[in-house]
Amino acid sequence: MTTIALALPLLWLAWLALTEWVPMFPLNDLKPGNLRPRLLAATINYPFPLLIAAGIALRRPWSLVAASALCGLILAGHLVSWWLPYLGLSSAAQRQVYERDYARTLKILPAAGHAVVPDVQHMVVGLLSVAMLGTTLAVTLAA
């Protein structure tokens, strides 16, 4: 389980880097106009999976708890960014970012009546986030 828990944050990071920097329309919609927000998001998001992997690799009680907490924060951020807006709890800023960067991306969820719809690339992020939290908690509880 430790190997999987260690690999998932790195896979999460690789998926984020791939979908944020390699044009794969309609999976993503990389335009010159969204370079600055992507750089900011990378600066904020990319250290977290590295810290999680380091916490798991250390296998100390405090590092595993810290890694679990970071996984929880990542999942909470994903829920606030995508699923609460999909349920109708979005801000004007979230709707503006969605329209600018994600309105044309691939979606499999119904869009009717929703100002923000999680796209496939972010559904994968969500699944990886849940798996990352689950395996990190499993390793933490087994330690």
Q: What is the pLDDT of residues 36-89, one digit of tens each?
A: 888 999 999 999 999 999 999 999 999 999 999 999 999 999 999 999 999 999
The model's pTM? 0.94
What are the backbone angles phi and psi of residue 70, rounded to the nearest 5°?
Answer: -65, -40
> What's the rounded Cα separation, in Å, for the pair 92 and 51?
32
Q: How confident is the model at residue 128 (pLDDT cuts 50, 70, 90)?
A: very high
Over residues 86-105, mean pLDDT: 94
Q: Looking at the predicted structure, is the pLDDT value of residue 17 above 90?
A: yes
6, with CB counted inside 10 A (0-12, 13-18, 19+), is: buried
> What's the rounded Cα separation, in Å, for the pair 74 and 76?
5
Residue 50's pLDDT is 98
Angle 104-21-29 from CA coordinates, rounded to 5°? 10
